[in-house]
Amino acid sequence: MKTKPLLFLLSLVFFLIVIFMPGPVYAGDYQDGEAAYKKGDFEKAFEKWKPLAEKGNATLQSALGMMYARGMGVPQDYTEAVKWFRLGAKQGNKAGQAGLGSMYIQGHGVTQDFKEAVKWFRLAAAQGFSSGQYSLGLMYKNGQGVTQDFKEAVKWFGLAADQNEPHAQYSLGKMYVKGQGVPKDYILAYYWFSLAGKNGLEGGVKASGIVEKKMTPAQIIEAKEQSRFYL
């Protein structure tokens, strides 16, 4: 499997932090850390957030996992990343669960274990976390940690795609092109590729152009009308 979800997943952790603000007790230091993060002062953000994470804030535990995994404000340290992701994940934080799954895929800070990755992705996916759903779809598509099942892959890609996750939209488009888990359908493939492109994934724009060359004039008209209506 070409595994690209590690940095992709970790880049979403801060998004989750913004959505799930800590309570009033943590507001001051949290907000100071957030402001520093947005300015690119990751060392200060880490300094502000670590004490809160040590007190048990699951969201910030997951954030520290991201920072250690990517070397943001601290030297890159996969062992520490796994430690903090696991602390957040065990408290049910979905970003921590997805982050921990990504570490198991790569074998960073832990022994590579696809079944363990699936376990954590599934927990994140069950909470509606789009990156967990997308990554679980990848595991089913490639048959790693689970029996290969294109229909299950389409299911999880679809759930993530409906949340405007562009990588899932692109992957769903590919499933329609190849007829994997769904009937081959260039019109729907064009739709999902176009949506991925609209959401910032350059590959989606290129893929929609490629699939258009395989379509009949009537299909092109229908696809473009459908895309204009829904996009």
pLDDT per position as a tens digit, 167-183:
999 999 999 999 999 99
User: Which alpha helices (DSSP H) does 71-200 contain, by range?
Assistant: 78-90, 94-106, 114-126, 130-142, 150-161, 166-178, 186-198
Residue partners of 140: CB distance under 8 A and separation at least 6: 146, 148, 149, 150, 152, 153, 156
* pLDDT for the residue numbered 222: 87
What are the structural domains of the chain? 1-162 (1.25.40.10), 164-231 (no CATH)
* pLDDT for the residue numbered 2: 44
How far is 84 from 93, CA to CA, in rounded Å?
Answer: 11
The number of CA neighbours under 13 Å toward the Cβ of 63 is 31
The position carrying tokens 């940095």 is 7
* pLDDT for the residue numbered 224: 80
* pLDDT for the residue numbered 226: 76
Integer CA distances (angstroms), 71 to 1, 41, 63, 125, in order: 25, 13, 12, 26
* pLDDT for the residue numbered 18: 43
Low-confidence ranges of the chain (pLDDT < 70): 1-27, 229-231
* pLDDT for the residue numbered 192: 95
Give this prediction's pTM.
0.88
* pLDDT for the residue numbered 29: 85
Which of 128, 111, 127, 144 minimizes the C-alpha distance to 5? 144
